[in-house]
Structure 1
Amino acid sequence: MLDGPRNSHSVKEPVIGLHQVSQRDIAHVGGKNASLGEMLSRLSSASIQVPGGFATTADAYRAHLTQDDLKKRIAERLAGIDVDNIRQLGSAGREIRSWIMQL
């Protein structure tokens, strides 16, 4: 059963190599990263060369959102957006992405 991380990496590490990540780590690195780590492991064990990568942990992401009130700014930017308006969503997404990358 999936009852915890398969590796000895600390959950406090902000970045973890994908070769260290499995489906057991979904809570720490998210579903996509966990799936990539699982795929990397399975392909590598089948002698298929796969480029390495890394996963940013959910804790690191949440810590990043606390800087410069980013979480609050994102919530304010998304408040009142018409979710059916693709242009509004695209504009908000681009702006928020730029905020995240600036920090």
Structure 2
Amino acid sequence: MKVGQVCSHGTAAILGLQGAEAEEWTTWARKYNKAVNDATEQLFRDASAKLNPQQMELLKAWFAIGWNPQINALLYGKGLDKLESAQLDSVKEMQKK
């Protein structure tokens, strides 16, 4: 997966979706992932008009490394990796700030 994308099957499982619901979710997640990919490519095209080659190389390196492992660690740390034990109140408090 690329930066910002979601694992279609993994998120369906975490959300407790099965059968047709999981298939529909997978379709939505793939559509979302395509939009994220398209936006990233557009960012690179736009940035190339302003950034020098070294800056572009650095920007692309951020995306090459990926952020998903760090995001997953945050989700696991907040207990947001399982529907039945998700600590949603802590997230609601964060959203208020």
Common topology (TM > 0.5): no
Greater strand percent: which structure?
Answer: 1
Higher RCO structure, 1 or 2 (CA under 8 Å, sep 6+): 2
Greater helix percent: which structure?
Answer: 2
After TM superposition, the score normalised by the length of structure 1 is 0.27
